Amino acid sequence: MIEIGEVAVPTATVARLPYYLRALRDLAGEGVEVTSSSDLAERSGVGSAQLRKDLSYLGSFGTRGVGYDVESLSSYISAALGLGSEHRLAIVGVGNLGHALANYSGYSARGFSLVALLDADPGVVGRTAAGLPVEHVDDLERVLAERQVSMVILATPGGVAQQVAERVVACGVREILCFSPVSLQLPDDVVVRSVDVAGELQILAFHAAARAAQPATAAARAAQPAATTGP
């Protein structure tokens, strides 16, 4: 459970809130003012019963037979996610992936501000990405303090990720989005969200292999002689 105000909300529910918010913003962009639970659920990729249960943790929303007010529900979920205040981000590791993350255009629209880029590679330090200079990771503590960084995106090689993460935590940062291929061991009060691109691709490969095996399995079963019964 995660505390939002005075309400305990399941971690799985919190993980779905950004999808509801994205769907609501899409609806607002289409000029839709009121939406049904079934439409919002479909756009969010969940069942309507799950949607209603998730929203019930946050309060009472919607009118039976009418639906949800798109603007007010969007505002409420934004506030619940803590998007009413600015979150200042730093990216540590500005290789190909870090560079792509730096150039993501959606930060500001979602209440995030990218304020620092750091790397250890002399060939990268001093260059510019997304309008910011890449600073040396040796200066991490100073940069995080001066820029008042509250969240860090970690895109370093796996071999140095733990060490860098520990330095980040020592600076007081308690939220880390990790793209490094490693399981970080950090204090319980640190929230780490890990994105393992290779792992997710391997899961997709498993499903692809299973799907490819299905026709062969069906054909093998069809080729088996019919079972016979005794006299």
Which residues, including other chains, have CB under 8 Å from residue 231's CB and lie 6 or more apart?
Answer: none
What are the binding residues? 93-98
Which part of the chain has CATH 1.10.10.10? 2-80
Share of the chain above pLDDT 70, in %: 88
Which part of the chain has CATH 3.40.50.720? 87-197
Tell me the mean pLDDT in the region 50-54: 92
- Given a cut of 70, whether residue 219 has pLDDT beyond it is no
**Rounded to an integer, what distance in angstroms lies between the CA atom of residue 168 and that of residue 140?**
8
What are the binding residues for NAD(+)? 93-98
- pTM, 2 dp: 0.75
For residue range 11-35, list pLDDT tens digits in order.
889 989 999 999 999 999 999 999 9
9 near 1, Cβ under 8 Å? yes
Output the CATH code of domain 2-80: 1.10.10.10
- Given a cut of 60, whether residue 218 has pLDDT beyond it is no
109 near 135, Cβ under 8 Å? no
Pair of tokens at residue 53: 């249960």
For residue range 90-137, list pLDDT tens digits in order.
999 999 999 999 999 889 878 899 999 999 999 999 999 999 999 999
Q: Which residue has the higher pLDDT, 179 or 218?
A: 179
- Given a cut of 50, whether residue 231 has pLDDT beyond it is no
Tokens 């934004």 -> residue = 78
Burial 209-224 (b: 16+ CB within 10 A, else e): eeeeeeeeeeeeeeee
38 near 52, Cβ under 8 Å? no
Instruction: Report the CATH fold assignment for 87-197.
Output: Rossmann fold (3.40.50)
**Rounded to an integer, what distance in angstroms lies between the CA atom of residue 21 and that of residue 75?**
9
